[in-house]
Amino acid sequence: MPEAPLSREQYVQQVLEAYQHTPGTTGQVRPPDRLLAAQLQQRGIPLPTIENALVLAAARRIFRPADAPPLTTVRSLAYFVPVIEELLTTQISEDYFQHLRHKLEPFYLHHPDANPSRMILARRRG
Q: Does 124 fall in a domain?
A: no
- Under 8 Å CB-to-CB from 50, ≥6 apart: which residues? 15, 18, 40, 80, 84
Q: Does 126 fall in a domain?
A: no
pLDDT tens sequence across 67-81: 999 899 999 999 999
Q: Does 1 fall in a domain?
A: no
Q: Say which DSSP state 114 is in.
A: -
Structural domain containing residue 50 = 8-118
Q: Does 125 fall in a domain?
A: no
**Pick from 75, 39, 62, 47: nearest CA to 108:** 62
- C-alpha radius of gyration, the chain, whole number: 14
Q: Is the pTM of this model over 0.95?
A: no
The pLDDT score that the predictor gives to residue 122 is 41
> What distance in Å separates the CA atoms of residue 124 and residue 75, rounded to the nearest whole number?
27
Q: Does 90 fall in a domain?
A: yes
Residue 57 scores a pLDDT above 80: yes
Instruction: With H, G, I as helix, E, B as strand and everything else as coil, classify residue 105.
Output: helix
Banded pLDDT at 110 (limits 50, 70, 90): low
Q: Does 67 fall in a domain?
A: yes
Number of domains in the chain: 1
pLDDT tens sequence across 28-51: 999 999 999 999 999 999 999 999
Q: Does 114 fall in a domain?
A: yes
Choose the weakest-confidence range: 20-24, 41-45, 60-64, 118-122. 118-122
Cα 19 to Cα 32, 50, 76: the distances in Å are: 13, 9, 9
Q: Does 82 fall in a domain?
A: yes
